[in-house]
Amino acid sequence: MLDYHLHLWPHGVRDRAPTLEQVASYCRRAQEAGVTEIALTEHLFRFRQADGLLRGFWDDEPDAALRASMVRYWDDHAHADLDAYVECVIAAREAGLPVVLGLEVDYYRDRMDDVAALLAGYPFDVLLGSVHWIGVWRFDDLADPVSMDQWPVRGVERAWADYTTAMEELAASRTCDVLAHPDLVKVAGHRPHAPQEWWDRLAEAARSSGMAAELSSAGWRKPAAEQYPAAPLLERFVRAGVPLTTASDAHRLEEVADRAGELGALLDALEVDTLCGFRARRPRPVSRRSGARLP
């Protein structure tokens, strides 16, 4: 198994500089759970370099409360130094730890060329592409009343439609390698009457872009109360030949490799024995059980 989605800092905690010891402890915990390789994938928006590039992307939002909420969230997060993060993870990799250098990248409409240009200056192994926000609406920020108040205003059907469109645009931008938590829009537990169209479109977005998709245990820790993606969407990915990673989306050490065994059981049921690792943004098939590189 892999754990290809890991954060060093919980939300709300001001970023410390990452240390080799912290990365080593993540690797130890992962290996104890049968995970052969991890990717550190901190949010791009936690870094000052993203602030310089993207600050003000919320300016076109007409809703003043949503805009103010995003400014607060952004100012709370954009403090760490991307260079120090990259250097630390590379030092860990070079010390022989089973870790690769990644980042979790949000979708910023009309700004993905700028994002790609910034990231091209760093030696990333893997980039996760995520939609946590529809425009500036943080539909997954369960702790933010302004964001949660939007659910009844917009409605579940429109939220799923807008989310799916954003994921399609993110995939088509070819900025990233893996679609993270592919049906995150269910995070708060709201599901549409007929999700089949959205599942079909999400699977097609991955297939046509050549991206991998992530099987994540994080949904079990949320009101959604199941893995991302739902079983019918996971089946669609497998049928379409979309490569898969596995992930916990841990934001602290105790969550590293969370429920890796349960993710493995889902893959057993679909006879998936191969996962997709990455080096230098190139996919690399690996055995799910041994972690050995496959031809």
Smallest gap from residue 5 Cβ to Zn ion (A): 5
Tell me, by CB under 5 A, how many residues bind Zn ion: 3
Of the candidate spans 72-80, 101-109, 257-265, 276-284, the one that interacts with Zn ion by CB under 5 A turns out to be 101-109
Smallest gap from residue 247 Cβ to Zn ion (A): 8
Which residue, 179 or 203, is less far from Zn ion as judged by CB? Answer: 179
Site string (2-31) toward Zn ion, x via CB under 5 A: ------------------------------
Smallest gap from residue 164 Cβ to Zn ion (A): 16
Among 69, 130, 164, 245, binds Zn ion (CB under 5 A): 130
Which residue, 168 or 270, is less far from Zn ion as judged by CB? Answer: 168
Q: Is 214 in the site for Zn ion (CB under 5 A)?
A: no
Q: HEC states along the chain?
A: CEEEEECCCCCCCCCCCCCHHHHHHHHHHHHHCCCCEEEEEEEHHHEHHHHHHHCCCCCCCCCHHHHHHHHHHHHHHCCECHHHHHHHHHHHHHCCCCEEEEEEEECCCCCHHHHHHHHCCCCCCEEEEECCCECCECCCCCCCHHHHCHHHHHCHHHHHHHHHHHHHHHHHHCCCCEECCCCHHHCCCCCCCCCHHHHHHHHHHHHHHCCEEEEECHHHHCCCCCCECCHHHHHHHHHCCCCEEEECCECCHHHCCCCHHHHHHHHHHCCCCEEEEEECCEEEEEECCCCCECC
Q: Is 255 in the site for Zn ion (CB under 5 A)?
A: no
Smallest gap from residue 7 Cβ to Zn ion (A): 6
**Residues at the site binding Zn ion, with contacts judged by CB under 5 A:** 104, 130, 249
